[in-house]
Structure 1
Amino acid sequence: MNKRKVTSSDVAERAGVSQAAVSMILNKKYNVSFSKETVQRVENAAEELGYELPKRKTRREVRREKLLVVLCPNLTNPYYVMLLQGIESRATEQGFGLFVCNTQRDLELEERYLKMMPGLNPQGVIYACNPSRCFMHLVEELSGKIPFAIINNQNEKLDVDAVELDNAKLGRLMAKHLLELGHKNVAYIAPPLTVRQKQRSKRVEGFLKEFKDAGLGENVIIKAADEQIDKDIPGIDSEYRIGYDLTKELLREHKNLTAIAGLNDMIAFGILDALYDEKYKVPGDISVMGCDNTLFAKMHKVYLTTIEHFVIYKGMDACDIIMKKMNTRMKRYAEIEPVSIYHVEYEPRIVVRGTTSYPHSKKRKINTRK
């Protein structure tokens, strides 16, 4: 018959003290004072009963928590929430926890999070967008020790595993749809088009190129928000406000527009509201389209024409890449560890709904207000 293992409760009962006191005395916690008599009594009780302190987990064992880190530029755009949903669903299947770092497009925050990685020692890191160029050397250095996956703009040359997005192709698809409907005088609304946010510029360039190829490049109005917006902490309605405010400006400056495209769905929602407030009919007077096919775009009151590029699947794929890299490092079939770069890309598709149509042949009569 197996002898019952002696516990700290048994020692506490024998010594006539609390279980907490036993733990502190036997673990030599000197921040709490006990009388010599109490210490002696506990140590004698432990020796008489044959009590052994539980083995402490080594530092190596403690850090084996299955953890993935995700660096996100913001959490106000449903696009990034969808990415996280895809990442989390796959991570949960594999028993991993997520640690989300919201950089808010702030360079100091991004650098701080990257420098935390060795201490956190996650099993993998996923960038939900392109890393800032000034930290690429750090990302590539860390990726030699921790598997990295980046959901990035295809035009960037990175020596890191990536789920790629051809932003220029998304812009071209948007333009093709409007051109096929017969729109010739259009506008494109975007967040700040800075060097740091090259993926935005690529989407705009793709849109503009398609119109230039059709001989209508001069008919496209590009309306981008002020650079200061990216320096402020993003609010829940930041991109919506860009769409709303810049549409109001467009309507004052240009009377012959038949379509307005937003760089993403959130901007398109702002465009729609500004048009409704100014009594324009969509798509009767002006067509509107967005990009990303977020949840709200499907709602019947909105029913936005947009571009589907399978955001949730990209999150899953980024997670799968991390798992593959981990397995490669654990199972070696050669003396040298193989270096493999994974690249995954989805073909985007247009989702035509109720906000785009053929332009009216006659100009809309603008109501003059007193």
Structure 2
Amino acid sequence: MNEKKRTTTRDIAKACFVSQSAVSMILSGRKDIHFAPETIERVKRTAKEMGYEYKARAKRKKTGTNDTIMIICPSLATQYYTTLIQFITQEAQEHGLCTLTAYTNRSKEREEYYLNMAADTGFYGVIYTYAPRAVTSLNHLHEKVPLVLINDHNPDLKIELLELDSKKSGRLIAAHLLELGHRDIGYMTTPLSSIEVPRRRRLEGMQEEYERQGFDPAMIHVISGKREDQETITGNKHYDTGYGLTRKYFKKREELLYKKKEDSEAAQILKEKKKVEKIEKIKQEDISSKHAIENKEDVKETGLENITAFVGTNDFVAIGIMDAITSLGYRIPEDFSVCGFDNTLVASFSGISLTTIDHCIGEKGAYAVSMIMNQKNRMEQKDGKREKKRPIMRLEYEPQLIVRHSTGRR
């Protein structure tokens, strides 16, 4: 006789359309994680109906992870993050420490899961490599575990910071392109959501530099993806974004140029008519021609067809742009210039030679470990006594423009 299959948290999660980790946190009564009341009620009711009995696990002993630094990162397909992880790991090993890479794919729920793991199992420290979504949990954790963030400054976070000055990076790129004679440029990026701080600040930096030099910031045309695609094993969403958006842009560009040519011809016809007819008669009889002129002005105002340079929000977006441009028969930089951000290894390859911004990846990775170790020492020296509140360390690295062969004079 077959035994009845034991109900698991996976079964409950599937029935409630929530994640397995969410079920575990709700049934364990976690007070530091917040779920909607109806979600809590649905999970508990389903667990009861399915005959699930929650057994609290004994608190794990803080062994095995007390010499391990957790590295929380959003991507393993982007060379910026894999390089940063490598430098963090090398520096940690120099000091007899281990690292564990916690891959989130930018999921807030996964962030919460790993932060809870760090708190429960006594990790040596946590290094965040991107703008966190689980801000509240992160602020709660810093009292227990050494934390360092490598990203742009976020005033809502009360943790130590290795700052990326993404605005300055944007200003450097804009100044370089303006110096080369470019005016209308395209900023190609994955979605510019409020939580993706570096992407937005790079754009803001470019706009500020245009204003500083007396140019209209509207000449920077934002061409962005509509949604944040999930990473796959076989692809790179950043490269795919750059390639796909560029192909779409050039299709639109051809339409705009064709429209502009039509409108120009219509305007010339109208000009000839004005020589032999009264203006009042033209207004009545040539409405279509007048409309063509108005359309011409609209096209002129958009300026999309005038783009001569593209800026990818990171190196892989930029490389996708480059491949799309060359696949259409254009030349880089003779026809179009391309820039990126991050100065990853692949950007320096001779076949790519991408102009980009260097963020001192190696130095940041190594110094993040030093900051974690300093915090750990301070916590241990407290020895049960309340330490006076210390200022939160905030260290900024100066971005540098790396000029290669992907940009040229207009």
Note the alpha carbon deviations across 1:143-201, whole angstroms, 9 max, x for none. 10111111121254421011111111111111111011110121110111112212211
CA 1:86–1:338 in 2, change beyond 3 Å: closer, same or farther?
farther
- The residue that corresponds to 1:324 in the other structure is 374
For residues 185-204 of structure 1, the aligned pairs below 5 Å read 185-204=184-203
Say which SS state the counterpart of residue 292 (structure 1) adopts: coil
Is the CA contact (8 Å cut-off) linking 2:170 and 2:204 kept in structure 1?
yes
CA 1:84–1:186 in 2, change beyond 3 Å: closer, same or farther?
same
> Aligned equivalents of 2:104 and 2:188: distance in 1?
24
Q: Post-superposition shift, 1:247?
A: 0.9
Q: Give 1:275's match in structure 2, choosing from 325, 343, 352.
A: 325
Say which SS state the counterpart of residue 62 (structure 1) adopts: coil
- The residue that corresponds to 1:51 in the other structure is none
- The residue that corresponds to 1:226 in the other structure is 226
1:293 and 2:343 equivalent?
yes
> Aligned equivalents of 2:155 and 2:183: distance in 1?
31
CA 1:159–1:95 in 2, change beyond 3 Å: closer, same or farther?
same
1:257 and 2:307 equivalent?
yes
- The residue that corresponds to 1:354 in the other structure is 405
CA 1:258–1:145 in 2, change beyond 3 Å: closer, same or farther?
same
> Aligned equivalents of 1:139 and 1:218: distance in 2?
37
Note the alpha carbon deviations across 1:106-130, whole angstroms, 9 max, x for none. 1221111122222221010111112
Note the alpha carbon deviations across 1:322-366, whole angstroms, 9 max, x for none. 00011112235995424431111111110000010101xxxxxxx
Unaligned stretches of 5+ residues in structure 2: 1-59, 254-304
> Aligned equivalents of 2:306 and 2:345: distance in 1?
31
Is the CA contact (8 Å cut-off) linking 1:148 and 1:322 kept in structure 2?
yes
- The residue that corresponds to 1:8 in the other structure is none
Say which SS state the counterpart of residue 306 (structure 2) adopts: coil
- The residue that corresponds to 2:25 in the other structure is none
CA 1:309–1:64 in 2, change beyond 3 Å: closer, same or farther?
closer
CA 1:61–1:149 in 2, change beyond 3 Å: closer, same or farther?
closer
CA 1:156–1:243 in 2, change beyond 3 Å: closer, same or farther?
farther
- The residue that corresponds to 2:360 in the other structure is 310
> Aligned equivalents of 1:156 and 1:286: distance in 2?
38
> Aligned equivalents of 2:109 and 2:217: distance in 1?
39
CA 1:61–1:252 in 2, change beyond 3 Å: closer, same or farther?
closer
Structure with greater proportional helix content: 2
Q: Write the letter of the residue equivalent to 1:261.
A: V
CA 1:339–1:225 in 2, change beyond 3 Å: closer, same or farther?
same
> Aligned equivalents of 2:138 and 2:232: distance in 1?
25
1:181 and 2:232 equivalent?
no
Is the CA contact (8 Å cut-off) linking 2:313 and 2:341 kept in structure 1?
yes
> Aligned equivalents of 1:290 and 1:60: distance in 2?
46
> Aligned equivalents of 2:376 and 2:66: distance in 1?
14
Is the CA contact (8 Å cut-off) linking 1:104 and 1:234 kept in structure 2?
no
1:76 and 2:77 equivalent?
yes
- The residue that corresponds to 1:208 in the other structure is 207
CA 1:161–1:234 in 2, change beyond 3 Å: closer, same or farther?
farther
CA 1:266–1:139 in 2, change beyond 3 Å: closer, same or farther?
same
Unaligned stretches of 5+ residues in structure 1: 1-58, 360-370
Is the CA contact (8 Å cut-off) linking 2:102 and 2:114 kept in structure 1?
yes
Q: Write the letter of the residue equivalent to 1:125.
A: V
Q: Write the letter of the residue equivalent to 1:176.
A: A
For residues 1-370 of structure 1, the aligned pairs below 5 Å read 62-63=63-64, 65-132=66-133, 135-213=134-212, 214-227=214-227, 229-230=228-229, 232-234=230-232, 236-254=235-253, 255-332=305-382, 336-340=386-390, 341-359=392-410
Say which SS state the counterpart of residue 187 (structure 1) adopts: strand
Say which SS state the counterpart of residue 87 (structure 2) adopts: helix
CA 1:142–1:165 in 2, change beyond 3 Å: closer, same or farther?
same
> Aligned equivalents of 1:326 and 1:101: distance in 2?
20
CA 1:84–1:271 in 2, change beyond 3 Å: closer, same or farther?
same
CA 1:280–1:139 in 2, change beyond 3 Å: closer, same or farther?
same
Q: Post-superposition shift, 1:285?
A: 0.5
TM-score (norm 1): 0.76
- The residue that corresponds to 1:35 in the other structure is none
> Aligned equivalents of 1:97 and 1:288: distance in 2?
39
CA 1:154–1:62 in 2, change beyond 3 Å: closer, same or farther?
closer
CA 1:233–1:301 in 2, change beyond 3 Å: closer, same or farther?
closer
When structure 1 is superposed on structure 2, of 252-261 and 239-248 the one drifting more is 252-261
> Aligned equivalents of 1:305 and 1:150: distance in 2?
27
Say which SS state the counterpart of residue 193 (structure 1) adopts: coil
Q: Post-superposition shift, 1:60?
A: 5.7
Say which SS state the counterpart of residue 144 (structure 1) adopts: coil
Note the alpha carbon deviations across 1:214-266, whole angstroms, 9 max, x for none. 32322221101112x34x34554110010001111222223432111111100
> Aligned equivalents of 1:344 and 1:170: distance in 2?
16
> Aligned equivalents of 1:253 and 1:270: distance in 2?
18
Structure 1's consecutive aligned runs of 4 or more residues displaced over 4 angstroms after TM superposition are 332-335
For the aligned residue pairs, the C-alpha RMSD in angstroms reads 1.9
TM-score (norm 2): 0.69
Q: Post-superposition shift, 1:138?
A: 1.3
Identity of aligned residues (%): 35
Is the CA contact (8 Å cut-off) linking 1:70 and 1:126 kept in structure 2?
yes
